[in-house]
Amino acid sequence: MPELPEVETVRRSLFPLIKNRTIENVIVYFPRMIKEPDVETFKRRVRGQTFKAIERLGKHLLFKVGDLTMIVHLRMEGKFMIKAIDAPKDKHEHLRFNLSDGQALCYYDVRKFGTLHLKEANTLYTTKPLRHVAHEPISEAFDFNAFAEKLKSDRPVKAAILDQKVISGIGNIYADEILFCASIHPDTPARELSRARIKKLAECAKTILNKAVESGGTTIRTYKNALGVDGMFQLHLNVHMREGEACKKCGRTLKKKKTAGRGTYFCPTCQKKGRKT
């Protein structure tokens, strides 16, 4: 379940392996992954281009190829790997870029939920999927007042911070960790949060995402980063996947419930509803 820290780890580890390589050929095994433009146009435009950079916005990877940008979203289980150009197709391999150095950049996705959009510079940020993506809590551009304004909603605060239009980069794991850090019950209606608690929420989001990036992300279940490298932030998880275990702050038993349609881990003592601190 790659969230901002995992996607950032992919970005950092992958770029040195493809930097300045030219795409000699593109093989699409699962055409539905290419959302824009049609597959033939996509192949024609990308062939012959060179990887100039990988950027990231929230959970989106932005591959700069020539003057074009490939926006890739890994959704739940998307991964990239490098292998020899003549290696046979693996199970769950959906896309392959044959590179000028004899290696191939391959995309894998068991769930097939990942997406790719190819954009020109003039529409990159003004069209889907990046059009409405909010700033990240760790970005210089993060605007606290805009964030507070978007929390004026009746939704549970957990639903609000999972919404990429409100704040970007946070998924189910870090949402739980951030709310625990801020001592906020996940079901608290977003508009009931005081300005001080919103401040705390934004600070916790920044601290936790930065720390997770430093740790190379979180490795749980089957998720592994590019090259199969494991992140280590799971060692710092305070609530996520710890149902029935002791709270590291108060020692009481952590609970699991469903909020915003998502499995939600929290401490009923440290994260009381209506708490004012």
Give the footprint of DNA on this chain (CB under 7 A): 1, 3, 32, 58-59, 73, 75-76, 110-113, 128-129, 153-156, 159, 162, 164, 171-173, 222, 258, 260-263
CB of 102 to DNA, least distance (A): 30
Listed in sequence order, the residues at least 6 apart from 50 whose beta carbon sits closer than 8 Å to its beta carbon are 20, 21, 22, 23, 65, 66
Cβ closest to DNA, residue 32 vs residue 44: 32
Cβ closest to DNA, residue 100 vs residue 172: 172
CB of 177 to DNA, least distance (A): 12
Cβ closest to DNA, residue 55 vs residue 154: 154
CB of 44 to DNA, least distance (A): 25
Q: How many whole angstroms separate alpha carbon 198 and alpha carbon 270?
A: 17
Cβ closest to DNA, residue 37 vs residue 263: 263
CB of 159 to DNA, least distance (A): 5
Q: Which of 5, 8, 21, 59 is catalytic?
A: 59
Helices (H), the chain: 4-18, 39-46, 144-150, 157-162, 172-181, 195-214
Quick one: which H or E segment has residue 265? strand 262-266
CB of 166 to DNA, least distance (A): 10
**Conformational region of residue 260, where left means phi above 0, alpha means psi within -120 to 50, and beta covers everything else:** left
Alpha-carbon dihedral angle through residues 238, 242, 244, 245, given to the nearest 10 degrees: -50
CB of 17 to DNA, least distance (A): 24
User: What's the Cα-to-Cα distance from 53 to each of 50, 121, 183, 217, rounded to whole Å?
Assistant: 9, 14, 39, 21
Q: Is 31 annotated as catalytic?
A: no
Q: How many whole angstroms separate alpha carbon 277 and alpha carbon 274?
A: 9
Q: Is 59 annotated as catalytic?
A: yes
User: What's the Cα-to-Cα distance from 188 to each of 154, 165, 252, 254, 255, rounded to whole Å?
Assistant: 9, 19, 21, 18, 16
Q: Which two tokens stand for residue 131?
A: 């059009």
At 63 the three-state DSSP class reads strand
Neighbours of 179 (CB within 10 A): 29
Cβ closest to DNA, residue 99 vs residue 159: 159
Cβ closest to DNA, residue 99 vs residue 157: 157
Q: Which two tokens stand for residue 31?
A: 């055409």
Q: Is 2 annotated as catalytic?
A: yes
Q: How many whole angstroms separate alpha carbon 32 and alpha carbon 116?
A: 9
Q: Which of 75, 224, 262, 272 is catalytic?
A: 262
- Catalytic residues, by residue number, are 2-3, 59, 262
